[in-house]
Structures are given as structure tokens and as C-alpha cells.
Structure 1
Amino acid sequence: MADVRVPAITFFLVTVHLFLSNAATPSPSPAPGPRYIIVDKFGGGDYTRIQDAIAAVPSNNSGPVDIWVKPGIYNERVIVPANKPFITLIGSIEEKQRVVITGKRGGSIKESATVSVLASDFVGQDLIIENTYGRGTQAVALRVTGDRVSFYGCRILSFQDTLFDEAGRHFYSDCLILGATDFICGNAASVFERCHVHSISPYGGAITAQQRTSLDEKTGFTFMDCNITGVKSAILGRPWGNYSRVIFAHTFMSEDGLLRRI
């Protein structure tokens, strides 16, 4: 991969353009005091399935709900509906006791997702989200469509279209995102901060496929202080639409075992 240098002023102006001039109507003030739900696949909590815990959250919820998931492998499809905002899904930081949400589903970019976040004001923390389908078709691990959505310390793993960053304003911090083909794709306005992006492509596949379709859309992907590696060479992105926009700033990219700053 060749070194690329993005002027600091360009990064600053585009970031302001995406996240300040595009300010949305403030979200409703949540009711005081979170509600806590515990998920334990072995029966030690309120529910044994994550989807059952989400189903227990009232529709049009206006107060924060923390769903704590105990370590284990949860083989299920998880959907956070649009009418259930203010949910925080919390896993585990213990390396040997992680929360893994897994699926093996290929085909449609929208229907194959292991986890789909359609609600606004969602937070995911310390989760492993994977789609183990492998090569051959779209196999999304995480689909994000809600607005004001954040992920912290998560691992998002698949092969093709791993992260379908479909729409909305999103923030990813200290996450690992792994895939081979267009594995960060969609038309959201998103910032990736201190994330590790790893390509497992054996043939130089694209890391990003951003889908902005007009100059008027205030969307794009910004990678800041990230680390990009791969098993072989990869390209940073390919256009999915005529106005795709991706920015890499203060990011390391591996080449011949070395890390180079751009």
C-alpha cells in the first residue's frame, strides 16, 4: 500500500462538515435512572438470549436500559428495532471470558447480518460480533442504521461486507474490524478512532466501499489514529457510488512488516 498524506486542514474541514453542519434535532431527554437486564446463557440472569432481553425493552423507550451479557457464545440473530432507543449492550473485557454473538448467514446485505442496530442512541461495548459464513457472498456481521450509535472495544469479524455502516452518525473507538472484501461499507457519517482494521484478503481486496451518491450528502468515513494491517496487500477503498468519501488521518499502514505513518 502506498503512503498517502492528508492535509490536517482537509481533515478538520470535512469533519466539521460531517458532524457540525449536519446536526440533527436533539434527541428527547431520557427518563432518569437506567434499567438493568442481565443475560446469561447458562441461566444465571433474567434471560438466556440477548434477543429476548431486547424484546423486554418497552417500545418507544425513553430511558436508558443497560443489558449486561455474561461471557459465552450466543448463536443468535440480534435485531435492535427502531422503536427501542437508548439501549446499551455490554459484554466482557476479560480475554478468556468474552461475549461472542455469532451467526453463519450469507446472501442479502441486509438480511445476513448477525447483529442489526436500527435504533438510535445505541451503545455496544466489549462485544465480539461475527459472521462465520466465509467466502462466496455478502455475509454481514454488523449492520448499523440508527442515528447516534457508538461501539467501544468491540471486534467485528467476517469476510465480505463485515460492517454494513448503512446510515446515520456513528462512532467506533478501539475496535477491531476484520474482513477481505468491501468490509467497511455503506453511507453513514462515521468516525473510526484508534481502531485496528485488518484485511484477510488473499488477492488485494478493498477495505472500504463508501456509498455517498451526491455532493449534498453529508456522509463519509473518517479514520483517525487507526492501525491498518493485512495478510497481503489491499486497497484502501473503491467507490460505491459517484461521490464516495473516505479520509485516513494520522493512521498507520503496514507494508513489508513495517508501520508507516500518513
Structure 2
Amino acid sequence: MVLKLLFLMVLFLNANSLSMPETFNGFLVPEEDYLKWLKHMGSFKHSLFQKAKNKFKPCLTMKVSSKPRSGEFPTVQKAINSLPVINNCRVVISISAGTYREKVEIPATTAYVTLQGAGADKTIIEWGDTADRVENGRPLGTFGSATFAVNSPYFIAKDITFKNKAPLPPSGALGKQAVALRISADTAAFISCKFIGAQDTLYDHIGRHYFKKCYIEGSVDFIFGNGLSLYEDCHLHAVTTTFGALTAQKRQSFLEETGFSFVNCRITGSGALYLGRAWGNFSRVVFAYTYMDKIITPRGWYDWGDKSREMTVFFGQYKCSGPGADFGGRVAWSRELTEQQARPFISIGFIDGHEWLLN
């Protein structure tokens, strides 16, 4: 009975979204429809404000191979599609070495999925969509451009590269957002993964997320969204030839428990890079114990062309090093944090990790 009700709800909501498409600058915005769905189901409030409980002991293991044998799957999406509509136990999908040219999406009800690669340089999932690509008569938009999209909670990925192979767009080009991975669910962890792209590489959309020993490459806003996320021991690499920005965090209210924290990370690359742009009125980003190469512009941060945001954003750094870490030239509305101010941002407590991350 529950499955039938869920199925009817999805059909009803899909019908509404098809009959009343929303657009922005000529692009469809399926993201807004998705957020309405989350609000309707109560998942967003439930996942962020009630205690999370993860499951680590696997009930099922599966294998994906580019040269599949009996019982193995040839693509990641086929393995995902074989799972129950509502999945309530940990499923481990082992992906052998190879380049998998496919676009993958994990549905909202398929929770507790672990993807285990053979190494980030050996297991690669890639596609090449951009926001302006037209499919079924409509542009995909940034939300729909993702090579890999996760809509379900308690997702784990290890030792995999997620890549959007769309070329680096020229400066000022429109519609060239090209997401490698979009995480639109709570309580997700990425360990020793790589995210390769140019504009808008990693869509850290909503929910609590943990990135450990990951490599993230891009040009403009290549880590963006409204997640509550901790990046620990990660390598952040810019590939812009002009000006770029590492983050674009979209916290819109003082009451929102979202923000990005980078701890013990390393920033390298080319061009001139802002640490972040204030996508949201209350954007919140902190860098701690992070090495910053000379590519970091002295001002460090950009207000998105809205001076009022300088009064409400929270941009800070704590005990960072390297030629780009000098706080002397930073904008006056950023902060050099004290130990007390930095403390909430530099442990897994920032993302309530003691509830769902520790095994």
C-alpha cells in the first residue's frame, strides 16, 4: 500500500511540473520542482533537524564491470535500477577499473548505497552535459547537467572519479555550467574521490556532507550550493585562465544551518581565484589550516555585486598558510578567526558527524 501511495504521489507531482514549467533566463528550473517535492515529503526537515542513524553493515553486494561476467552489471545505472524502489539496508556496489561513459542518477528512495571504486585514477564515471544542452525540447539547466546525481540519504562513495568532460568555456559564456556531481540529499560521504570539471564542478546542493582526501578541479564556482559540508584534507585545483572562484555558497537566511568548511586543504592551480562569492545573502564559508597558493587574489572574496551582502555573509580563515593566505589585503568584511570562533567549523561536529559518519 505504501509503495502504491508513493508511486501515485510521484506521478502527480511530475504531472504538475510538466504542466507548469518554471524558467529563469530561458532555462527550465527542475531544481525548484525537486525542492518542492522534498518539502512535500518532509525529507529535508526530517534529515537536517532530527537525529540521523546510518547503517554500515551490508545486506547486499554487487559488482559493476566494463567487461561483465555472469551476475555482474555493465553500467552503474543498471546496478542502481536493480535495487528495490524503497531500499532500507546498506548495499555495496563494487565498480572495477574502467571508464564508464554514462549519466547516473540515484532516486530519493534508494538510500544506503555505497559505491566502491578500484581507485580514483582507475574507476571513472564521465559524461559531458552542459546547462544549455536541449533535451526533449528543453535546456537541462545546471541542476540537470550533472554526470552523477545523488538524491538519496546515507550515500557513500570511495575511490572514484566523477567527471564532466565538457570543455572549459570562454570567459563570460552563458549556459556552460557543467556539473560533475550533484548531491541533493542528507548524510553523504565521499572518501578519496575526484571531481573533475570546469564551471560548477561540484553541486553541493542540500544536506550534510563529508569530503575526505578528495581532489576537486574547476574554474568558476566549482564548489557551490547550500549544503552543510566539511571538506577535510582535500586538494582544490583551479584551471581558469582569467578570474575564477572556488566557492559559491547559497545560505539565504540567518536561521539556515548551512555552510562550507575547509580544513587542512590545499589550493593550487592557475589564473586569479577568489576563495568565494556570496551567492546567498548569508553565505558562509571558512578555511582553516589550509595552504593557499599565490593564485588567491589578495581581496579573497566577492560580494556578487551586492554591497548589502557584505553585512550578512560569514567569510573567514584560521591559521592558513602559503603565499595566498596573507590576510592583510582581504576585504574588510571577511574575518580572521580566533580559536574560539573557528572551533565550531573544524571538526565533524560541524556536520553532526558523530550521529551518522562514524562506523
- TM-score (norm: length of structure 2): 0.63
Deviation at 1:255, TM superposition (A): 1.7
Which position in structure 1 is the counterpart of 2:164?
A: 131
2:216 pairs with 1:177: yes
Describe the superposition over 1:99-150 as per-residue Cα deviations: whole angstroms up to 9, x where unpaired: 1100010011111000001100000100011001121411000000110001
Alignment match of 2:204 (pick from 165, 183, 199):
165
2-structure distance, mates of 1:117, 1:243: 25
Runs of 4+ in 1 over 2 A off after TM superposition: 22-34, 258-262
| Paired residue type of 2:285 | V
Deviation at 1:259, TM superposition (A): 3.4
**What is the RMSD computed on CA atoms of the aligned residues?**
2.1
Which position in structure 2 is the counterpart of 1:103?
A: 127
1-structure distance, mates of 2:109, 2:123: 25
Note closer, same or farther for the CA distance 1:223–1:104 as it changes in structure 2 (3 Å cut).
Answer: same
Which region of structure 1 is more displaced relative to structure 2, 31-40 or 141-150?
Answer: 31-40
| Paired residue type of 2:85 | S
- Secondary structure (helix, strand or coil) at the match of 1:200 reads strand
Count of residues paired in the alignment: 239
Counting helix residues as a fraction of each chain, which structure ranks higher?
A: 2
Contact 2:98/2:124 (<8 A) preserved: yes
Deviation at 1:26, TM superposition (A): 3.3
| Paired residue type of 2:103 | R
Which position in structure 2 is the counterpart of 1:4?
A: none
Deviation at 1:230, TM superposition (A): 1.5
Which position in structure 1 is the counterpart of 2:28?
A: none
Which position in structure 1 is the counterpart of 2:239?
A: 200
Deviation at 1:94, TM superposition (A): 7.4
2:114 pairs with 1:88: yes
2-structure distance, mates of 1:32, 1:259: 42
Larger RCO of the pair (alpha carbons < 8 Å, separation 6+) = 1
2:282 pairs with 1:243: yes
Note closer, same or farther for the CA distance 1:201–1:32 as it changes in structure 2 (3 Å cut).
Answer: closer
Gapped regions of structure 1 (runs ≥ 5):
1-21
Describe the superposition over 1:51-91 as per-residue Cα deviations: whole angstroms up to 9, x where unpaired: 00011111221110000001111000011111000000010
Which position in structure 2 is the counterpart of 1:26?
A: 51
2-structure distance, mates of 1:146, 1:232: 33
Contact 1:31/1:62 (<8 A) preserved: no
2-structure distance, mates of 1:94, 1:195: 14
2:75 pairs with 1:49: yes
Contact 2:97/2:119 (<8 A) preserved: no
- TM-score (norm: length of structure 1): 0.86
2-structure distance, mates of 1:261, 1:104: 32
1-structure distance, mates of 2:72, 2:210: 29
Which position in structure 1 is the counterpart of 2:154?
A: 121
Contact 1:28/1:62 (<8 A) preserved: no
Note closer, same or farther for the CA distance 1:64–1:160 as it changes in structure 2 (3 Å cut).
Answer: same
Alignment match of 1:259 (pick from 314, 317, 322):
322
Note closer, same or farther for the CA distance 1:209–1:42 as it changes in structure 2 (3 Å cut).
Answer: same
Contact 1:250/1:261 (<8 A) preserved: no
- Secondary structure (helix, strand or coil) at the match of 2:293 reads strand
